[in-house]
Structure 1
Amino acid sequence: MTKMMVVCAGDAGVRFDRDYYANDHFKLAKACWEEHGLQSAEAFFPYAETGNWLSVGVYTFSSEQAMRAALANPRTQQVMDDVKNFTDATVVLRSLFTES
């Protein structure tokens, strides 16, 4: 199992629609990536007085190969194009975690 974390970062003035992200964006990601092994998607919204992370998305895939296949799929562009619908934040792919 491989988890991909995607972080949206920005200051307090950055637009971020939590409801759209956790519902509509995740539905689109699942529609595009389930056939490539996406098992789940989770949204977390951290808070820190000096932090700039607006959200953390955790996408769980059946394997690292499945995740790479999903990202290489042309439908991934739909997922990327949807980002503008919920935020103006800078989106940063932070890391991958693979369970052994």
Structure 2
Amino acid sequence: MPAAVSILYPRETGATFDFDYYMSTHMPLVSKLWTKHGMADWQVFTLDSDSPYIVHALMHWESIDGFKAAIAKESAEIMQDVKNYTNLKPVTFMGDIIGSS
């Protein structure tokens, strides 16, 4: 069953986030390492000032199991890269897609 995974970065006092690095280096790394596990695509959104989060990365997957396999096998390099663009701890949500239009 297709799945979606959201990675959100909370809006916090003293937060830093290098959008250029994130888009030019981090997300291409994610694509390189996770596409082979079933990641179909990704989108990145900046969120308005009323949101409790500043950035939302949305990834579509062939299945939740594919995402879990990617995390188990390919997460070390991706997680080590986080410090290169932010001092925030990302929050992850995932679930099966049960409908779309």
Indicate yes or no: 2:85 matched with 1:86: yes
SS of residue in 2 equivalent to 1:11: coil
Residue 25 of structure 1: CA displacement?
Answer: 0.8
Task: Measure, in 1, the Cα distance between the counterparts of 2:67 and 2:32.
Answer: 14
Identity across the alignment (%): 24
TM-score (norm 2): 0.85
TM-score (norm 1): 0.86
Residue 22 of structure 1: CA displacement?
Answer: 2.2
Q: Which residue of 1 aligns with 2:14?
A: 13
Q: Which residue of 2 aligns with 1:76?
A: 75
Please say which of residues 11-20 and 21-30 is displaced more in the overlay: 11-20
Task: Measure, in 1, the Cα distance between the counterparts of 2:24 and 2:82.
Answer: 13
Deviations 1:13-49 (A, max 9, x none): 3110112212311110111111101111211110124
Residue 56 of structure 1: CA displacement?
Answer: 0.6
Residue 96 of structure 1: CA displacement?
Answer: 1.3
RMSD of equivalent CA atoms: 1.5
Task: Flag structure 2 segments of 5+ consecutive residues without an equivalent.
Answer: none
Residue 12 of structure 1: CA displacement?
Answer: 4.7
Task: Flag structure 1 segments of 5+ consecutive residues without an equivalent.
Answer: none
